[in-house]
Structure 1
């Protein structure tokens, strides 16, 4: 079907070249769900359809007869669109690629297909189509594969490592009185602490594979957030950050597993503090926390004025094993996302490079 579609476009292009474009073909090209531009051998635009005008965010103008350079200097074309067109030209015409994929400023994915060569008599036919739905399916399949692999890995780790660690910990506790008599009790403390840390890592793998069923209880959002802020204030002070909890008058109650919900919020706050760069000027890192009611939902927001994230990072933010930290596991946000979904909620993220990041956790409101 795709081949027939492309052949139809090529047939239409040949009709343009010969000057005998049929009205039926013109109507088809005007109303298909792809943007189309046709440039002749001199680089002059000979046809552009309505969909392409919409993609370029231009009103219907007499662009036919313009060169590619005229299009790049069009007064009503945004700077982002000009850069994108130039990138498409570089990847397709200059480098000779038949297709090129990119993401726009709104996170939508597009594919550009170029037809040229002898059959086109020197003409260039550009076809642009949004492929966000296909990308979403592809990413979902990729994530499911990762989760399946993660489950097998977690089970293997739990079986091969956890049992020996438990035995080691037991023997160290038996030897601890003897080490204390020798004045080496700190060795036992270090060994036990490292064993516990290894167990925590294993537990994180297991949780990311299959988070436990929430043990829910009703709690006011204000109480939950105050407790989390108390847990992070000292850490924020050490990193030179300020944590500001916005007051809210509404009595907002949620039914959640308090331990799991604290884990999610603490993880996001710590990520926010790590995203705030260290500076010598008067710049002060801030983490803003608050909540508000939105219909039948409670929305908890956590925002920072850190370095922000680009679109590529945002697209993979909740993927297992994806991390931008040197010592990160890439599991924190993946686990957090699954915990929130298990509570019937969702997490959304807004971020811009050098402007900061804002997480919004939406949960059902308990009346």
Structure 2
């Protein structure tokens, strides 16, 4: 009888050795965070890991040994995924593209890499990696850069326009006695009023594109939200919308610039009413403002049952000048983003087309207040 040491020295046949190596590498591929599938030179799927099968929402046993056409004809594969697979196939074969980007139904960003060539012996390796976090970082950096540029442009515009307006105003005031003698004082009054209105517009634009440093004071979040609801109640009733406040029993306090934060919340609530109004009475409008807190932050959730947004709109929602409203400036949410960031907070949004939208504003909790 062979002891344990002698057994370990017994030769292993080449088939068993190859199978062990294959199993080892397949196990490694299963543990990767990337989704992987491998087609041989005949176009037959020879390997797919669990992550890829999960993304396709199909069992691995139903996919292994199939060619691309058989996979596309599988009734369990939804229409969205079929369209994306066909698009990637065409771009790879006809345009020789090796890298593809797509946004799935839930708004997640994926980087798809197709590896083929002599080193692959005719095989095609397709890998997919979730790059949503990287995209969010990239978009945040891009958004911050645009906001900084916007601030510089607005300051320059304000300076260049205000100077001639000031000069015009001065000359009109000098001419006013002569216009009064001619019985045309009304003209002077209108000109001065319009110059002042132009100055007010410039001031509002400058203030909105480059919010001033917050003048903070400690306030009750409950009181702030109550005031916002009072300001919007009449407009909500006109659009057939109900606003409900759900809050925690314990009082919550934050250190904020009340005017700025109120501006942010009012802007989101009014956007919610607009989204509900666009439904044209398809269902009763509903806006829920919910308040809760953890150890560090107060969370203000503003959820509506309006028309919702698609992933592309969501991706650009906080970009300056991006708007889906006719006649909108596209500054409201980009300014809101900067105001919340200046308060050390975070603003996020989740939306589903046809169902509704939820904004969540997180602000540092004032402890010991």
TM-score of Structure 1 vs Structure 2, range by shorter chain: 0.7 to 0.9
For residue 132 of structure 1, report the CA deviation from its aligned partner: 2.8
For residue 106 of structure 1, report the CA deviation from its aligned partner: 3.5
For residue 47 of structure 1, report the CA deviation from its aligned partner: 2.1
Hey, what does 1:231 align to over in structure 2? 231
Hey, what does 1:334 align to over in structure 2? 334
Distance 2:66 2:327 in 1: 53
Secondary structure of 1:361's match?
Answer: strand
Hey, what does 1:286 align to over in structure 2? 286
Hey, what does 2:6 align to over in structure 1? none
For residue 348 of structure 1, report the CA deviation from its aligned partner: 1.7
Hey, what does 1:71 align to over in structure 2? 71
CA contact (8 A) 1:44 1:68 kept: yes
Query: Larger radius of gyration, structure 1 or 2?
Result: 2
Distance 1:52 1:99 in 2: 17
Note the residue ranges of structure 2 that are not aligned, 5 or more in a row. Answer: 1-17
Residues 280 and 58 of structure 1: is their aligned pair in 2 closer, same or farther, counting only changes over 3 Å? closer
Hey, what does 1:208 align to over in structure 2? 209
Distance 2:300 2:220 in 1: 12
Secondary structure of 2:63's match?
Answer: coil
Secondary structure of 1:161's match?
Answer: helix
Which one is further off, 184-193 or 62-71? 184-193
Hey, what does 1:142 align to over in structure 2? 142
Distance 2:251 2:196 in 1: 42
For residues 9-24 of structure 1, what are the structure 2 equivalents within 5 Å?
23=22
Distance 2:61 2:215 in 1: 61
Distance 1:30 1:61 in 2: 15
Distance 1:48 1:271 in 2: 45
Residues 283 and 168 of structure 1: is their aligned pair in 2 closer, same or farther, counting only changes over 3 Å? farther
For residues 164-243 of structure 1, what are the structure 2 equivalents within 5 Å?
164-168=164-168, 185=186, 188=189, 192=193, 195-196=196-197, 199-209=200-210, 211-238=211-238, 240-243=239-242
CA contact (8 A) 1:162 1:202 kept: no
CA contact (8 A) 1:169 1:192 kept: no
Hey, what does 1:13 align to over in structure 2? none
Secondary structure of 1:199's match?
Answer: helix
For residue 171 of structure 1, report the CA deviation from its aligned partner: 6.1
**What TM-score, normalized to structure 2?**
0.77
CA contact (8 A) 2:45 2:65 kept: yes
Distance 1:153 1:276 in 2: 34
For residue 264 of structure 1, report the CA deviation from its aligned partner: 0.8
CA contact (8 A) 1:304 1:356 kept: yes
For residue 267 of structure 1, report the CA deviation from its aligned partner: 1.2
Hey, what does 2:261 align to over in structure 1? 261
For residue 166 of structure 1, report the CA deviation from its aligned partner: 4.2
- Name the Cα RMSD after superposition: 3.6
Alignment length, in residue pairs?
347
